[in-house]
Structure 1
């Protein structure tokens, strides 16, 4: 006998309800997969670390909607390292020994990541991390980067910056290099000094400041007096905004300017940042947005970032690196059907992982693969890639004052 449409609809709804309830019933019978992290939720790095926290929450929520890992619910335990590498080291010890997490996810920024790697090595734990800037400092064979700047960024990434400038509207002849002493920032700025010399450019100023500095007036004055064509700013977090504010107070605007790892939202929304350059692995336009999972992630991030009152709700390099780290972890667990750290590490060394950055490999020095860094610029309050040209939106080119 043929069932009525109403009966069929009720049957389908009942089946859907039973299916939706299934994960909860299954999860109640087995422990969750616990993933431990620290992030700089307070201190000088907090503005950027909040992006990584939001991305992790988005990814874990989506994982659990899709059934978790290995059919088990995922719990993400996040502790505040206060932007202090020594504290990060202590907290990762706690995550492993007291909280007994199954897996680790790296913190934000090079100093804290190096601390986390040391702890992971002591306990033979896998560590995937998203923002380490000095690849040569990590020798542990069970750490894996989601920050795709290659194994020699002091040479390759800095050369990309100056190649972009050479092909831009006003190729510079004189350069000022000012930089934080934060480890990865200082390393890259030293690389920039070598690169500009190799290209026959003149360095007219070199200045350093201690990490956490908030007084940029004297630095702005020295830059103005040097009259450079281009200013390389070894910035992390809000350094870029503070320097731009200081330059504004003395009625100075650099012809061309670059900020290494700025807090993305605060910088792009600053009126003084028009024309500012930086590095990126992902921006919110084609061809990046055509990659699998990118459109859905962007849509969700917009909603959650708006609700969190972020100054900028777009997905860019920091958010993409964080999302990539979670993609790497999920891919390894899913492929191996294991939570064993060594099994996961062996898989990653032998296999590529498809991410919103592209196809990543981990078989190079220090488990790094290709340098995928591109050059982006603030144009009319938005980040857009300007080099290489095939990654730029249609009709977009580098601008200069």
Structure 2
């Protein structure tokens, strides 16, 4: 059974307001009669000005997606702590109610059902992974809630009719490798890779990143010699690694999360397969990645929507605060979680409400449709389906550190075009 984790304060929610919200949700009343949440910018809603704004969240804290799920949790908790230390939202403290969905799509749906229908949370934030975002977003839509999410980038997210959804990152999965594809296309033809091997987790996001690059490379005439899809719980990559090694592909592309990428790389190294280029989604940006695979990180590429060195207006303060709180710099998962908070907070402060009231929730949705939000991953705007209108950076391990190499105007280091042996 999922047990909620509360982030300060823990018991200040008025019980009478809880009961009233639950009763209204259960009977399907279209609009709450609580005071506030009007377009005039009232700060009230669920009770007095001292009541916290309760935000419901379900995250994969165990199971297949637990590693990035915990990163998102750290980002959410850091954001809530920062907000509360700086006056709260609408002058009210923020309280997070976090459930563990165990990386299970059925469980995440029931978690959001509980958070909204039983617990009467004021707002919701999204989970990690496209697999979990789709069912969670459907529950939020059914109840008319704004749904901002940090880690559901696959195209299927944006074709479900979720008019309440916004992805809090620069680009969708298919576009994550756009800058790398542009660079390869600009290379002299005799220097481009001629063959490519793809190994992707059976996951919409992971496949979306790998196949977005695959489409571009095939348009350039790069031949696909291996195309393998594996279940999310795969741990033995011997067979896939053998196929890739036997193909002698010039570039290997992994549509990966974290542990699968580590296991695949270890298996490829054991076979002494040496590609000219190697790129994996998500995993190389994880701070545990170098320790997990050893010293041979040099030249490995990965798309990222975030770097701690970015010069966006609020990023330096975020990095300083997060680092002091956690004794380490934030990575992409933490940054996207913080960004989710920034996006929702911008709408809340602009509209003047943060309540489980359909009118308030619709005002928040409408405001985000029409406005740009400044975040730690840059300025964000969205199309009508919630797709962000930006691009991911390309990072690479250079001199033992992961650094931005593309696009050139944002580069921290020069791209290594031929990967050293691993």
- Aligned residue for 2:171, secondary structure, equals coil
In 2: Cα distance, 1:164 partner to 1:250 partner: 29
Change (3 A) 1:253 1:304: farther
Q: Which residue of 1 aligns with 2:77?
A: 57
CA contact (8 A) 1:280 1:316 kept: no
In 2: Cα distance, 1:222 partner to 1:365 partner: 42
Identify which of 227, 230, 237 aligns with 2:248: 227
Residue 330 in 1 paired to residue 330 in 2?
no
Task: Kindly state the Cα deviation for residue 318 of structure 1 after the two structures are TM-superposed.
Answer: 2.1
Task: Kindly state the Cα deviation for residue 320 of structure 1 after the two structures are TM-superposed.
Answer: 2.0
Change (3 A) 1:238 1:39: same
What do the CA deviations read for 1:18-44 (whole angstroms, capped 9, x no partner)? xxxxxxxx9996321000001111112
Q: Which residue of 2 aligns with 1:250?
A: 271
Q: Which residue of 2 aligns with 1:147?
A: 169
Q: Which residue of 2 aligns with 1:8?
A: none
Identify which of 296, 300, 313 aligns with 1:292: 313
What do the CA deviations read for 1:161-198 (whole angstroms, capped 9, x no partner)? 32233457953111101111112222333333322211
Change (3 A) 1:75 1:281: same
Task: Kindly state the Cα deviation for residue 358 of structure 1 after the two structures are TM-superposed.
Answer: 1.6
Greater shift, 29-38 or 68-77, is seen at: 29-38
What do the CA deviations read for 1:264-304 (whole angstroms, capped 9, x no partner)? 1232443233211111122132xx1x222211221232233
- Superposed CA RMSD: 2.2
Q: For residues 176-325 of structure 1, what are the structure 2 equivalents within 5 Å?
A: 176-262=197-283, 264-269=286-291, 270=293, 271-285=295-309, 288=310, 290-306=311-327, 313-325=328-340
Q: Which residue of 2 aligns with 1:15?
A: none
What do the CA deviations read for 1:180-220 (whole angstroms, capped 9, x no partner)? 11122223333333222111111111111011111111111
Q: Which residue of 1 aligns with 2:396?
A: 377
Q: Which residue of 2 aligns with 1:165?
A: 184
CA contact (8 A) 1:158 1:195 kept: no
Identify which of 42, 52, 55 aligns with 1:32: 52
CA contact (8 A) 2:169 2:388 kept: no
In 2: Cα distance, 1:217 partner to 1:303 partner: 41
CA contact (8 A) 2:304 2:393 kept: yes
| Higher relative helix content | 1
- Aligned residue for 1:233, secondary structure, equals strand
Change (3 A) 1:104 1:193: same
- Aligned residue for 1:175, secondary structure, equals strand
Q: For residues 119-134 of structure 1, what are the structure 2 equivalents within 5 Å?
A: 119-134=139-154
- Aligned residue for 1:338, secondary structure, equals coil
In 2: Cα distance, 1:316 partner to 1:329 partner: 20
CA contact (8 A) 2:75 2:336 kept: no
In 1: Cα distance, 2:253 partner to 2:203 partner: 15
Task: Kindly state the Cα deviation for residue 83 of structure 1 after the two structures are TM-superposed.
Answer: 1.1
Q: Which residue of 1 aligns with 2:31?
A: none
Task: Kindly state the Cα deviation for residue 127 of structure 1 after the two structures are TM-superposed.
Answer: 0.6
- Aligned residue for 2:287, secondary structure, equals helix
**Unpaired runs of at least 5, structure 1:** 1-25, 307-312
Q: Which has the higher contact order (CA 8 A, sep 6+)?
A: 2
What do the CA deviations read for 1:109-163 (whole angstroms, capped 9, x no partner)? 111111111100111111100111224334211111102215xx53x44443322
In 2: Cα distance, 1:128 partner to 1:28 partner: 26
CA contact (8 A) 1:166 1:172 kept: no
- Aligned residue for 1:359, secondary structure, equals strand
TM-score (norm. length: structure 1):
0.85
Change (3 A) 1:64 1:28: farther
CA contact (8 A) 1:44 1:237 kept: no
In 2: Cα distance, 1:193 partner to 1:295 partner: 35
